Each structure stands twice: as structure tokens, then as C-alpha cells.
Amino acid sequence: MIRVVAFDGDDTLWHNETIFSMSQERFEEMLAPYVDPKDLHARMLETERRNVEIFGYGIKGFTLSMIETAIEVTEGRVTAAELRALLELGKGMLAHPTELLEGAREAIVEVAETARVVLITKGDLFDQESKLARSGLGELFEKVEIVSEKDDARYRRVLRDLDVAAEEFVMVGNSMRSDVLPVVRIGGRAVHVPYHVTWALEEVDPAEVPEGGWWRIERLDELPALLSSVEG
Amino acid sequence: MIRVVAFDGDDTLWHNETIFSMSQERFEEMLAPYVDPKDLHARMLETERRNVEIFGYGIKGFTLSMIETAIEVTEGRVTAAELRALLELGKGMLAHPTELLEGAREAIVEVAETARVVLITKGDLFDQESKLARSGLGELFEKVEIVSEKDDARYRRVLRDLDVAAEEFVMVGNSMRSDVLPVVRIGGRAVHVPYHVTWALEEVDPAEVPEGGWWRIERLDELPALLSSVEG
């Protein structure tokens, strides 16, 4: 019996990683006079990996990491005007329209006919709330949980707050690391809907992937049929 | 009957504004060769007021605002090394130990003997969770709500999630704007515990302050006696 179906937000219901990719490309173009784009890419990832422990996920941390990387790779030769442009790039990301993935609204509405539907999304509180508001999907969810990390402990707490048992819970999202692995580990089930880009920090070792407890679909419009077949 | 007592975090249970004030002073010292500290202070506040709509509250937004202000007031003459130092100032704030206010733990423990106690704190999700973890107070709260804004709608939602009526709810905090006014407006009660510094964006017009529904104490250790007298 599936009582609660939880959706991830970024890259599951609305586009997100494409905005980061576009900004990363723009960042590389802007600093091309100083540094080879490939090298900048690697250095930026290094900075992000180091800073995620301090900043958490989200655009503000990404913007601070761009500024830090730009100063480091140019050994301080980057100009204040160029850094100012990086700041504006970050603000532009925060103001970017929330573009829904195809079939997102329909999938939520259809699933809501037979189960409670909630949103469990990771990242910056202010930015996630703002994106949710602009998505127009807010009123479809019984509850919205914005979390700083999606790990076993956090899912256990969310399930307790929702008063649902793990075996009655299904998580739907694009990240194996955040939406599938921890949920299956605590006894829940998951549906993986891959997005065409995956951030390096979300990648998983194939050896970690469990054999059962989860399914993969190509598009959200396959979700209602999958859930019906699971319930048999 | 008081069923739920909610505490604010920043500047109610642990020091926060002092960390911002210290960083602001350091920022003004660093840019003193370019700009009069008083002017910088005013310009920074302007930037913060503008950016709070885009960044929300918290240290990452503050750091980005420092960088933006530094570039603007120096008309781009600030060096990359100086901007790098501002970045490090921000990181230092994020890593700053959480210092409890005197009597914070004792007040929570004593109130918990007769009411459910929760934490309702505003700001950056990742930073607030990290501060709460370092405060050692986490296990004292039945529930922790980290919100991006403390307005009427948000308090109504929190009360609904806590399954408590407004008249059974008391909010304890240092901000008239965030902890007292909205709670009294929705029919709850509040206890104001002033902190020695108030951020300009938290200040309120005295005309907005309601006559009843709230009390003011000087220190948290007066809270248990106040609540007992209210319950009479």
C-alpha cells in the first residue's frame, strides 16, 4: 500500500542543473582570457567540493565559489568589474524563471488521486521557496519539506513527521544519491527519473546501487502507471 | 492554558548579531583607505536592504553584499586580495562557535516541564542547522522550524503543523518585528527578550506595537516565572 508519494523539486519537477550549466559556461567564457576553460572547470569543482561543507547547496554558495575560484586561478589579476559580473550572474540565476519539466503538474495531480503527495527538496531555503512559489505547484502538496541534506536520518525524520511507515512511502526524483539510495536503505521505495545532466557531486558509485526497492522511468508521465502496477 | 512555547534562535538563545557587528567593523576597517567608515556603513545597509529580497537572510547573502558594496564604493579599485579577505571574513562567520546566551538551556528545560517546547528560527537553513547542532540544544526541542520569514502566514502554518491553537501558543524572542508583532496579530502571545544590538532591518515603528498580548523581560531566566503568572 502506497500512502505517501514524495517528489523532489530540482531537475525532477523543474529545471535546475541547466541553469547552473549555463552559468558555468558563461563563467568559463568570461575568464577565458586568463585560464583554459577545462582547467577552470576542474578548479571550480574543487572549490565547490571544499565549500559545500561550509555553504551547503544552492546559488549563493555557487556564486561565492565562482568569485573565490576566479581570484585563485587568476592569482588576483581578475578585475573588480569581472567579479561584479559574476555577482550579477548569480543574481540572475536566483531570478531565473522556474521552468517545469514536461508532465510535472499532471503527474502530481494524478498521483494525488490515490496517495498523499508531498515535496521533499534539498537546497537553500529561501531559493527553494521562491522557486516553488513561481512554479505554481505549491497548492498541490500536502506538505513541503526543504532540507539541507537528503540522508537516511533526514528521511527518517520526515517520515515520522508525516506519520507514515517506510514501506508505505515512495520517493520520486532524479538523483540516485539523494532520492533513491537513502530511501531504499531505510526500507522505503523510490522511482528514479534521470535528468539529462547530473552535477558531479550527485554522482554515485554503481557498487552502491541496491538491486531492488526502486524503479527507473524515463519521464514523469510514466509514474502513475508504474505506481498502480506496484500496488498490484 | 499555554501548550506550546516557541523560542527564537539568533540573539535569543545564542549570540548572532554581535558576530555580524564584529564583521561589519572589520569590513569598515579594511576599506578605510578608500571610504569613510560611516559612509560605508550606510552604503552596506542600502545594499542589504536591496539584496534581502533576492538572497534572504544569512551570512552568505551578507558576504555577497559586502563584496558588492566594496566594489561599488571603491568604483572598482578594491583589489582581488581585499575581496578574497571579505570572502574569508564570511567563511569565518559561518565557522564561528555558537555561544549560548546566559540561562538559555535552563530556561528551555524549565519551560519544558509544563509545555511543549519548539524552536522557530529565521535564516539560512544550512547555517541555522549547523548553529543548532553546535549549540547542543537540539535534543531539547520537540520540533525545529527554520523559516525564511516570520510573518503572519508562516506562524499560522507552523501552528497548524504543531496542532496548537493561537491562544495556547507563546513565542519568545528578541525581535519585535519577527517574534512579537506577527504572533500577537494572529491571536497568540509573545515574550520579548531584547538583545543589546538590533539589526536595522529588524527595527519597528513604535506605532505598530500592540498594547497587549505580549510581555517584556530582561533575561531568559525570568521566563518560567512569567509564564506561571500568566497561566495563573
Which of A74, A95, A116 marks a domain boundary?
A95
Which of B36, B64, B95 marks a domain boundary?
B95
To the nearest whole Å, the CA of B217 is away from the closest chain A CA by 31
What is the pLDDT at residue A66?
A: 98
Q: Does B223 have pLDDT greater than 70?
A: yes
Query: Same domain, yes or no, for B170 and B222?
Result: yes
Query: Same domain, yes or no, for A119 and A224?
Result: yes
Q: Are A48 and A24 in contact (CB under 8 A)?
A: no
Q: A225 burial class (0-12, 13-18, 19+ CB within 10 angstroms)?
A: exposed
In whole angstroms, what is the distance from residue B12 CA to residue B184 CA? 18
Name the residue type at position B100: L
To the nearest whole Å, the CA of A92 is away from the closest chain B CA by 10
Query: Same domain, yes or no, for B39 and B21?
Result: yes
Mean pLDDT of chain B: 95
By C-alpha distance, the chain B residue nearest A88 is B68
How many CB pairs lie under 8 A apart between chains A and B? Answer: 91
User: In A, which residues are within 8 Å of B59 by CB distance?
Assistant: none
pLDDT < 50: residue spans in chain A = none
What is the pLDDT at residue B87?
A: 98
Report the CATH number at residue B24.
Answer: 1.10.150.240
Q: Does B146 have pLDDT greater than 80?
A: yes
Q: Are B173 and B190 in contact (CB under 8 A)?
A: yes
What is the pLDDT at residue B232?
A: 67
- Are the beta carbons of B55 and A60 separated by less than 8 Å? yes
Query: Same domain, yes or no, for A77 and A188?
Result: no
In whole angstroms, what is the distance from residue B59 CA to residue A18 CA? 26
What is the pLDDT at residue A232?
A: 66
User: In A, which residues are within 8 Å of B94 by CB distance?
Assistant: 54-55
- Are the beta carbons of B146 and A127 separated by less than 8 Å? no
Kindly calculate the radius of gyration of chain A based on its CA atoms and give it in whole angstroms.
19
- Are the beta carbons of A76 and B81 separated by less than 8 Å? yes
What is the pLDDT at residue A92?
A: 96
**Residue B133 contacts by C-beta under 8 Å, 6 or more apart in sequence?**
none
Q: Are A128 and A147 in contact (CB under 8 A)?
A: no
Question: Any idea of the CA torsion for A167, A172, A175, A180, to the nearest 10 degrees?
Answer: 10
Question: Any idea of the CA torsion for A162, A165, A166, A170, to the nearest 10 degrees?
Answer: -60
By C-alpha distance, the chain B residue nearest A158 is B143
For B87, which of A57, A68, A77 is closest by C-beta distance?
Answer: A68
Phi then psi for residue A7, to 5 deg, are -105, 140
Query: Same domain, yes or no, for B8 and B28?
Result: no
Query: Same domain, yes or no, for B111 and B212?
Result: yes
Query: Same domain, yes or no, for A165 and A219?
Result: yes
**Per DSSP, what are the bridge partners of residue B5?**
B117, B170
Which of A78, A95, A112 marks a domain boundary?
A95
Query: Same domain, yes or no, for A83 and A114?
Result: no
By C-alpha distance, the chain B residue nearest A157 is B143
Q: Are A120 and A6 in contact (CB under 8 A)?
A: yes
By C-alpha distance, the chain B residue nearest A93 is B54
ipTM at complex level: 0.90
Query: What would the 3-class secondary structure string for chain B be?
Result: CCCEEEECCECCCECCHHHHHHHHHHHHHHCCCCCCHHHHHHHHHHHHHHHHHHHCCCHHHHHHHHHHHHHHHCCCCCCHHHHHHHHHHHHHHHHCCCCECCCHHHHHHHHCCCCEEEEEEECCHHHHHHHHHHHCCHHHCCEEEEECCCCHHHHHHHHHHHCCCHHHEEEEECCHHHHHHHHHHCCCEEEECCCCCCCHHHCCCHHHCCCCCEEECCCHHHHHHHHHHHHC
**Interface probe, candidates B31, B48, B54, B127, chain A, greatest A C-beta count within 10 A:** B54
In whole angstroms, what is the distance from residue B81 CA to residue A112 CA? 54
To the nearest whole Å, the CA of A109 is away from the closest chain B CA by 23
By C-alpha distance, the chain B residue nearest A94 is B54
For A125, which of B74, B80, B148 is closest by C-beta distance?
Answer: B148
Domain that holds residue A147: 4-15+99-231
- Are the beta carbons of A80 and B68 separated by less than 8 Å? no
Report the CATH number at residue A120.
Answer: 3.40.50.1000
- Coil/strand/helix, residue A172: strand
Query: Same domain, yes or no, for B147 and B87?
Result: no
Query: Same domain, yes or no, for B120 and B108?
Result: yes
- Are the beta carbons of B64 and A148 separated by less than 8 Å? no
Q: Are A5 and A226 in contact (CB under 8 A)?
A: no
Count of domains observed in chain A: 2
Chain A: residues touching B (Cβ < 8 Å): 54-58, 60-61, 63-64, 67-68, 71, 74, 76-81, 83-84, 87, 90-91, 94-95, 124-127, 129, 146-148
In chain B, what is the straight-line distance between the N-terminal and C-terminal CA atoms, in Å? 9
To the nearest whole Å, the CA of A62 is away from the closest chain B CA by 10
User: In B, which residues are within 8 Å of A58 by CB distance?
Assistant: 126
To the nearest whole Å, the CA of A153 is away from the closest chain B CA by 14
What is the pLDDT at residue B200?
A: 78
For residue A28, the number of C-alpha atoms closer than 13 Å in the C-beta half-sphere is 16
Query: Same domain, yes or no, for B124 and B192?
Result: yes
Other CB atoms within 10 A of residue B37 CB: 14
What is the pLDDT at residue A143?
A: 94
Query: Same domain, yes or no, for B121 and B175?
Result: yes
Q: B209-229 in b/e burial notation, b at 16+ Cβ within 10 A?
A: eeeeebbebeebebbbeebee
Q: Is B76 left (phi over 0), alpha (psi -120 to 50) or beta?
A: left
By C-alpha distance, the chain A residue nearest B149 is A126
User: In A, which residues are within 8 Å of B78 by CB distance?
Assistant: 80
Q: Does B179 have pLDDT greater than 90?
A: yes
To the nearest whole Å, the CA of B126 is away from the closest chain A CA by 6
In whole angstroms, what is the distance from residue A79 CA to residue B123 CA? 32
How much is the average pLDDT of B109-124? 96
To the nearest whole Å, the CA of B30 is away from the closest chain A CA by 16
- Coil/strand/helix, residue A131: helix
**Candidate from A196-205, B68-77, B145-154 with smallest mean pLDDT:** A196-205
Q: Could you give the angle at the alpha carbon of B231 between the alpha carbons of B229 and B232, nearest 5°?
A: 60
